[in-house]
Structure 1
Amino acid sequence: MFNSKYPLIQAPMAGGISTPKLAAAVCKAGGVGFLAGGYKTTSALKEEIEQLQKQQPGVFGVNLFVPEEEGNYDLKQYEERIKSTAVTLQEEIGVPRYHDDEWKDKLMLLANHPVPLVSFTFGCPEKNVIRTLQKKGTVVIVTITTPKEAKLAAEAGADALCLQGIEAGGHRGSFNNQEGKEEDYGILELIDLVKKQSSLPLIAAGGIMDKDGVEVVLNAGASAVQIGTAFLCCKESGANSTYKKALLNKTYKETAITRAFTGRRARGLANTFLLSHTDSAPAAYPHVHYMTQPLRKKAAKQGEANYLSLWAGIGHNKVKECSAQEIVRSLMM
Structure 2
Amino acid sequence: MDVDPITRGNRFCERFGGQFPVMLAPMAGACPPALSIAIMKAGGWGAAGCLMMQPEQIAAWADEVRSAAGSAFQLNVWIPETAPRPEPDREAEWRHFLSRWCDTPAPDPLPSPLPDFAAQCEAMLAGRPAAISSIMGVFPAEFVAKLKAAGIPWMASVTTVAEAKEAAQAGADVIVAQGMEAGGHRGTFDQSAAEATQVGLSSLLPSIVDAVDVPVVATGGIADGRGIAAAFMLGASAVQIGTGFLRCTESAIPSSWKDAIGRALPEETILTRAFTGRAGRAIDTAFARTAARPDAPQPAAYPWQRLLTQPMTAAARDDDDIDRMQAWSGQSGGLAGEGPAGDLVENLWQAAREHLSAARSRR
TM tier, smaller: over 0.9
Contact residue 114 and residue 133 of structure 1 kept, 8 A: no
Q: What is the 5 A alignment of 1:75-90?
A: 76-77=89-90, 79-81=92-94, 83-90=96-103
SS in 2 for 1:178: helix
Aligned residues: 332
Of residues 40, 43, 60, the one that matches 2:53 is 40
Task: Name which of structure 1's ranges 92-101 and 291-300 shifts more when overlaid on structure 2.
Answer: 92-101
Of residues 229, 232, 235, the one that matches 1:218 is 232
Is 1:285 aligned with 2:298?
Answer: no
Counterpart residue type for residue 45 of structure 1: I
Counterpart residue type for residue 299 of structure 1: A
C-alpha distance in 2 between matches for 1:145 and 1:328? 25
Is 1:30 aligned with 2:43?
Answer: yes
Indicate how the Cα distance of structure 1 residues 201 and 79 shifts in structure 2: closer, same or farther if over 3 A, else same.
farther
Which residue in the other structure is 1:229 paired with?
243
- Identity across matched positions, percent: 29
Q: CA deviation at 1:320?
A: 3.1
Contact residue 67 and residue 101 of structure 1 kept, 8 A: no
Contact residue 247 and residue 317 of structure 1 kept, 8 A: yes
Which residue in the other structure is 1:197 paired with?
211
Counterpart residue type for residue 222 of structure 2: I
Of residues 46, 58, 62, the one that matches 1:49 is 62
Indicate how the Cα distance of structure 1 residues 104 and 10 shifts in structure 2: closer, same or farther if over 3 A, else same.
same
C-alpha distance in 1 between matches for 2:259 and 2:73? 29
Which residue in the other structure is 1:317 paired with?
334
Q: Which of these two proteins has the greater Rg computed from alpha carbons? A: 2
C-alpha distance in 2 between matches for 1:139 and 1:255? 33
C-alpha distance in 1 between matches for 2:95 and 2:289? 12
Counterpart residue type for residue 201 of structure 1: P
Is 1:256 aligned with 2:265?
Answer: no
Is 1:301 aligned with 2:315?
Answer: no
C-alpha distance in 2 between matches for 1:323 and 1:272? 30
Deviation per CA, 1:63-82: give whole Å up to 9, x if none: 11111112125253364246
SS in 2 for 1:61: strand
Q: What is the 5 A alignment of 1:1-333?
A: 1-15=15-29, 17-74=30-87, 76-77=89-90, 79-81=92-94, 83-95=96-108, 96=110, 99-178=113-192, 182-248=196-262, 254-278=268-292, 280-282=297-299, 284-333=301-350
Indicate how the Cα distance of structure 1 residues 308 and 180 shifts in structure 2: closer, same or farther if over 3 A, else same.
closer
Q: CA deviation at 1:193?
A: 1.7
Counterpart residue type for residue 227 of structure 1: I
Indicate how the Cα distance of structure 1 residues 183 and 98 shifts in structure 2: closer, same or farther if over 3 A, else same.
farther
Structure 2: where are the runs of 5+ without partners? 1-14, 351-363
Task: Name which of structure 1's ranges 143-152 and 112-121 shifts more when overlaid on structure 2.
Answer: 112-121
Deviation per CA, 1:55-108: give whole Å up to 9, x if none: 112321111111111212525336424634434432213554663432111111
Contact residue 176 and residue 216 of structure 2 kept, 8 A: yes
Deviation per CA, 1:164-184: give whole Å up to 9, x if none: 000000111111112577311
Contact residue 86 and residue 295 of structure 1 kept, 8 A: no
Contact residue 101 and residue 324 of structure 2 kept, 8 A: no
Contact residue 186 and residue 194 of structure 2 kept, 8 A: no
Contact residue 98 and residue 286 of structure 1 kept, 8 A: no
Q: CA deviation at 1:126?
A: 1.6
Task: Name which of structure 1's ranges 77-86 and 266-275 shifts more when overlaid on structure 2.
Answer: 77-86
Task: Name which of structure 1's ranges 193-202 and 246-255 shifts more when overlaid on structure 2.
Answer: 246-255
Indicate how the Cα distance of structure 1 residues 242 and 53 shifts in structure 2: closer, same or farther if over 3 A, else same.
same
Counterpart residue type for residue 42 of structure 2: A
Contact residue 265 and residue 331 of structure 2 kept, 8 A: no
Structure 1: where are the runs of 5+ without partners? none
Counterpart residue type for residue 40 of structure 1: M
Contact residue 124 and residue 153 of structure 1 kept, 8 A: yes
Deviation per CA, 1:110-143: give whole Å up to 9, x if none: 3344322111112111222112112112111010
Q: CA deviation at 1:13?
A: 0.9
C-alpha distance in 2 between matches for 1:197 and 1:247? 34
What is the TM-score with the length of structure 2 in the denominator?
A: 0.86
Deviation per CA, 1:191-219: give whole Å up to 9, x if none: 12212221110000011111011010101
Q: CA deviation at 1:14?
A: 0.8
CA RMSD across the alignment: 2.1
**Structure number having the greater helix percentage:** 2
Contact residue 42 and residue 106 of structure 1 kept, 8 A: yes
SS in 1 for 2:146: helix
